[in-house]
Chains A and B, each alone.
Chain A
């Protein structure tokens, strides 16, 4: 169950108990994975290098989105990219090995945390540079339009990316060409360490960021990204529009990133760790952060499912235990795996 995405791509329907349990499972797997990546900084210092960005807090948005995909759909993401492949069924062992820089990783250790790919599962990759994968997703949607197999591309990015030319240029073209694409902006309210209202015209004027869709005459929707069922319904609508040739949608999914933007940025020799969230570290706003923790989408969804009787507490416990064991195994695999051959760095320069 953990690795299968049982979607059939049919029109949006009420989510059954099995599907809801699947969604909770994926959310918990993502959280457990990200927490293990984070604890690696202290438990296995030196293993993680460079910059790592976690999806904790965005699980409901990620899983609600992926749950609405048809098997042939494709996604493009950012460098905050661990959550999507987990929900798509990518083997966690290969992901952890990649993030640990090992030869057995998804990309042989060449890419690392910011550059995951699993093309066989429709995950076409992303970009380490903010917003620069939005046109790539748009191009993949053009390819889907030409193929006429009913495929849709879902393009994930953050609120910060929506101030790049690449975002605006892409949305305009997608709307003119009626491309089969859904743009999912995960608005976590911080562009790295800048509050959105300090750098976004809509936010500065108290308007939702989905307002930007109006400039490109496309549908713009804002959804509670902490509610996987609401995200699923919104994506299902947008995917249906895209599949029918009506054109693209901009979905603003409101999430709260529960970790800092990324680990400490420091030269070699300085131990890397995760600083406090920017709300506290930069703005001294502990109340905001604690409120976000109280709204944590993972326990919130568990509570909802158990209260509604969709899952028993024992079922939920079993899901969580299985996820922990799976992450344990992934981490053991990654730690035990060999380093890549040094000269593998010359193997993939040209196709």
Chain B
């Protein structure tokens, strides 16, 4: 049994259910719970639900402190770039405590951040910055592409005993999808095959999954069978599922909204080059954003971003196919 809800509602559903299940879960951030009519404030009260000033260093640091002291805070940061203001708190505080204290301390907290608002939000609100955080020891990073995964990964994030960065995509917020009824937890470090195929493996993260699925659909009409894999969490990263797919297909194309050298795609390419080289029948290909900031103006914004056409072209080159519309 399932129900159909938008991606953003799925995330909220997970937070609400976890707050009902565990009264140590706190939820706070900017511009939320300002009215007595706010549903979270009404249901859980001002001890557990609070609005903060625009003070990311304090917000994330307070989450860290409350987590050390036994609570399980979820801090709502809205735009991913806002957490850059507090980079020390994100990467170099709570992430280190469990290790440095020889396990005396754990920091179960979730930072929720929206990324990739490539809809005219211009240079400072459109970044796909998740790749910057995937190599931070002690930090887990979730990157859901569907409402079901959004709910399931948020549930797991709140239950996890480590700091988790939960990246939601702004362009997907209103996308509807089926979400299983009842408790729904998606394990971290387990990739999902979003579309099965046999000719080529496409691995995509977050928003790029939609791009990859669109490309796979158009290629299917030409008789090309593409497998689309979504790692769902990039730390931990499920390399095995990718390797076993590449072992069957021999071809790998990676799609990522981030710029090439800060993309998850680059890391996956390195893993497959080292661990799956003998499976490869063609060079690995990366379809990423071009190395630039995102412009306000639509034609310029579109030029630097990956799209279905660019993915199809990379697949054609990997498989040695003639271009469809040559």
Contact = CB atoms under 8 A, between A and B. Distances in A.
Contacts of A128: 122-125
Nearest to A192: B31
Nearest to A102: B297
B51 A112 contact: no
Nearest to B302: A342
A228 interface: no
Contact of B31 (A51, A109, A193, A340): A193
B122 A50 contact: yes
Interface in A67-112: 98, 101-103, 108-112
A341 B121 CA distance: 19
A194 B298 CA distance: 31
A129 B85 contact: yes
B51 A345 contact: no
A342 to B, nearest CB: 4
Nearest to B296: A112
A172 interface: no
A110 to B, nearest CB: 5
A136 B119 CA distance: 27
A147 to B, nearest CB: 29
Contact of B296 (A101, A132, A283, A341): A101
Interface stretch (A26-34, A161-169, A290-298, A322-330): A161-169
A257 interface: no
Nearest to B79: A129
19 contacts: A49-B296, A98-B296, A111-B122, A111-B296, A112-B120, A112-B122, A112-B295, A114-B124, A128-B125, A163-B53, A164-B85, A193-B31, A199-B51, A282-B34, A283-B35, A339-B299, A342-B299, A346-B292, A349-B292
Interface string A132-175: 10000000000000000000000000001101111000000000
Given A49-B296, A112-B297, A194 B34 contact: yes
A70 B170 CA distance: 43
Given A109-B295, A339-B299, A115 B124 contact: yes
Interface stretch (A13-21, A242-250, A266-274, A302-310): A266-274
B239 interface: no
Given A129-B85, A339-B297, A194 B290 contact: no
Contacts of B54: 130-131, 160-161, 163-164, 191, 199
B172 interface: yes
A200 interface: yes
Contact of B81 (A98, A129, A267, A346): A129
Nearest to B122: A112
Contacts, number: 144
A198 B170 contact: no
B31 A194 contact: yes
A195 interface: yes
B133 interface: no
Interface string B162-190: 00000000111110000000000000000
B125 A51 contact: yes
Contacts of B297: 101-103, 108-110, 112, 339-340
A106 to B, nearest CB: 11
Contacts of A98: 296
A343 interface: yes
B120 A49 contact: yes
A217 B262 CA distance: 43
B300 interface: yes
Given A163-B53, A267-B171, A346-B290, 8 more contacts: A50-B125, A51-B120, A109-B297, A114-B125, A132-B85, A194-B34, A199-B54, A345-B303
Contact of A268 (B51, B171, B303): B171
B30 interface: yes
Nearest to B121: A50
Interface in B289-313: 290-304
B28 to A, nearest CB: 12
A7 interface: no
Interface centre among B171, B291, B296 (most CB of A within 10 A): B296
Contacts of A349: 291-293
Nearest to B305: A345
B156 interface: no
B114 to A, nearest CB: 10
A115 B126 CA distance: 14
Contact of B292 (A109, A113, A283, A345): A345
